[in-house]
Amino acid sequence: MSDLSNKIWWTRKAKIKAERRLLNFDYYSQILLLWYSTFLVCYSIYTLVKPAQKIEEAAIMVSLSVLILVLTLFINNMNFKGRALLIKQCYERLSVIHTASISPTNLAELDKEYQAVLGSSENHLEKDFAKAIVDEYFNTNDKNILTKKPTIIHFFMIAMLSLRNIASFLFLFIFPFIILFSLRAVE
């Protein structure tokens, strides 16, 4: 495999991980927005039965409702799905270029096409590239054919990112309960 072919292959793998990251952001942000909206509606119904004793509780819940509105607008403007689609189109075109680069006739032309395709979408992040290296390492039977091997830093980075993502999601999921119980405990 030529250097260009190798570069295209790893870029494609990193772009696949970037698409997955953006789709995960979209999915989990939609789940959290739905959860927060449902929680606030249920809380509003609950306050009809057991009204808030202090005005601060009602003010905080109204503030949270406004925050949900602002976050909904922000998340929609981030356009995670649209960005993921552009990255997918990019890595699909990279696949065609990679196939052509295996038995190249004109490397300069392929490199020019490669550069043009890269400009069609946002770049992947370093963590996407590290994830690609680690995943390929675990999914390849013959580790000797890999041109890039993960370092201990790659493994550590991916483990910490996974833990951070899980902890963040769990915290954001239970956050409304923390607010509610802390407000109701003060009564």
CA dist 114 and 131 (Å) reads: 22
- The string of pLDDT tens digits covering residues 2-34 is 788 999 999 999 999 999 999 999 999 999 999
* DSSP secondary structure letters along 145-164: G-SS---HHHHHHHHHHHHH
**Do 93 and 117 contact (CB within 8 A), yes or no?**
yes
Q: Kindly report the pTM of this predicted structure.
A: 0.89
Residues 6+ apart with CB under 8 A from 9: 1, 98
- Does 118 score more than 60 pLDDT? yes
Q: What is the mean pLDDT of residues 131-143?
A: 95
C-alpha dihedral over 51, 57, 61, 64, to 10 degrees?
Answer: -170
Whole-angstrom Cα distance, residue 131 to residue 23?
15
Please check the confidence at residue 187 and state whether its pLDDT lies above 60: no
Higher pLDDT, 81 or 181: 81
Decide which of 171 and 44 is more confident: 171
Summarize pLDDT for 34-88 with one digit per residue, the tens: 999 999 999 889 888 988 777 878 888 888 899 999 999 999 999 999 999 999 9
| DSSP-assigned states of every residue in 31-76 | HHHHHHHHHHHHHHHHHHHS--SSHHHHHHHHHHHHHHHHHHHHHH
Closest CA to 21 of 125, 139, 151: 125
Distance CA 146, CA 162 (A): 24
pLDDT at residue 186, rounded to an integer: 61
- Please list, in sequence order, all residues whose beta carbon lies within 8 angstroms of the beta carbon of residue 78, skipping any fewer than 6 positions away: 25, 29
The structure tokens listed for 2 are: 């030529």
Contact between 63 and 9 (Cβ < 8 Å): no
Other CB atoms within 10 Å distance of the CB of residue 92 = 13
